[in-house]
Amino acid sequence: MLTPKAPFMGDSTRFSHISGSLYMPLSTDRKKQFRSIAHALNPIVTIAGNGLNDGVRAELERALDDHELIKIKIAIADREIRKEVITEMCTSCRAEMVQQIGKVAVIYRESKQQPAPRNSNVR
């Protein structure tokens, strides 16, 4: 009888302090694939001077649940503040940043439920 193996706990597995669970970060090949897909996407959410308020967080959650891979425009001039906003956004939404170029970021979070194929940017 086969026994299940313990999960691999090498360098490629990280502990998420947000959800309290283990997750596998995106591989380089997967990020490359997502960057290719995201090239044709338009930003779904725009974050402006008010930063990450509750309304923006709710919209990010909805967009990630529906699309999994989303492009976001951060309309903040200061580079350091923009970087902080992106980090806070990824942490609060339990998402992983795929790419950031200037004021545009692409983030990914696998949906808990199977998203509708017409909505998902990944499937």
Tens of pLDDT, residues 32-52: 999 999 999 999 999 998 889
- For residue 121, the model assigns a pLDDT of 76
How far apart CA 121 and CA 34 sit, in angstroms, is 9
Strands 22-23 and 45-47: unpaired
Q: What is the pLDDT of residues 71-100, one digit of tens each?
A: 999 999 999 999 999 999 999 999 999 999
pLDDT surpasses 90 at 107 = yes
Q: What is the pLDDT of residues 57-71, one digit of tens each?
A: 999 999 999 899 999
pLDDT surpasses 50 at 114 = yes
Which residue segments constitute the domains of the chain, with CATH numbers given?
16-108 (3.30.110.60)
For 55, how many CA atoms within 13 A lie in the half-sphere containing its CB? 6
* CA torsion, ordered 30, 31, 33, 37, to nearest 10 deg: 140
